[in-house]
Amino acid sequence: MTRVVVTGLGAITPAGPDAASTWSAIVEGRSAVRPTSAFDASDLDARIAATIEGFDPVALLGRKRANRTATFSQYAVAAAREAVADAGVVIDEELAGRVAVCLNTAVSGIGPADQANAALLADGPGAVSAYYVPQMIPSVPACEVAIDLGVHGPVTAAALACASGTAAVLDARRMLLSGEADVAIAGGTDAPHTRSLMAGLGRMGALSRNNDDPEGACRPFDVDRDGFVPSEGAVVFVLEREEDARARGARIHGAVLGGALTSDAYHLSAPDRDGRYASEAIRLTLERSGLDPVDVDWLCAHGTGTPANDRTETLAIRRAFGAAVDEVAVSSPKSVLGHMMGGAGALSLLACLLAIRDDRIPPTINLENVDPACELDHVANVARETPVRVAVADAFGFGGQNCVVAVGAA
């Protein structure tokens, strides 16, 4: 049976401008969470975030193009360029029509929307940027990547909240297996760090208020967890059919074995309390990937650090893995880099692929006292050196959108 493999990796995150620096921070457990400095947060309940520092969009795109594009699109272009370069794909005129772009987001252009609303209220319609609409719509990062690379195959964008990044990879896999494309560029991006989002998530009670200890704030599965930490960035992959990749002598990072999407259909922000359909997404992923629970070496958890999510995710994992649950290691990269929203699922898949490469499972940092309701085989605070042949990434979004993907060694 034809397999889809990953031949290119790209990332820009609060840990650094590429996949290597991102992986280094995750596996070494170096927190990127800091006090918010992008705007005045003094009156907010939550005043910490993981943000990208030192990014120069003009150097990336030139001044004219940088001025017309939103940050989440700029991040997507940066990560896509790295992924294509890593894959060694030469997109010539013949291949260009066979390259797909599947690039998802969650919050999309909230920054441009905030700026436009402020300008409108302060100075009237003439103060609103002419670039506002094309900056903020969720399909723009995918289109910007297609423009940047000069590709003419299918270009899709979807918003599945925090499951967006993983869902993009499954969409790309389907396009390759159906023959719609020969190469697919897929992943997730978001630049949601705005005053309005911080205020809104704070009002929901979703964010950590541990403002005095930013690096210790995100603590998935810990008894003292009090919410997630917002983050930003993009993670992008190049995917190909295995036979095509091997025919051109490509380096293969791993195979996308299968995945599944389910819906809680329960609540707009809270997970279904018993984790039934999150568990079903894990079960279906294993089934469709030809895996037994005992085959999985690491589960890269959604692990946001919110009380309800971590408890429900634990139930889902225990239900899906059954008697084998104590044999699968579990940890969450959000403890280090925060919650990248539309990029979060793609970040988890990046970690899965590199854990397989290095036989090293990254830790959940700040996990000092495991909540009894979250008992699993946690990789706490220090990376675990162990063979990793199969890893599973789960992602659960607002509205009950559950997306799980399994990857394996090449």
Three-state SS for 58-109 is HHHHCHHHHHHCCHHHHHHHHHHHHHHHHHCCCCCHHHHCCEEEEEECCCCC
Burial 190-214 (b: 16+ CB within 10 A, else e): bbbbbbebbbebbeeebbbebbeeb
Which residues are known catalytic residues? 162, 302, 339
Q: How far apart are CA 309 and CA 292, in angstroms?
A: 25
Phi-psi region of 92 (alpha: psi -120 to 50; beta: other; left: phi over 0): beta
Dihedrals phi, psi of 239, to nearest 5 degrees: -120, 145
What is the DSSP annotation of 174-222? HHHHHTS-SEEEEEEEE----HHHHHHHHHHT-B---TT-GGGT--TTB
Cα→Cα distances 120→13, 67, 114, 116, 132, Å: 32, 19, 10, 6, 12
Dihedrals phi, psi of 306, to nearest 5 degrees: -90, 145
**Residue 345: CB partners within 8 Å, gap ≥ 6?**
162, 163, 164, 165, 166, 167, 169, 188, 393, 395, 403, 405
Dihedrals phi, psi of 392, to nearest 5 degrees: -125, 135
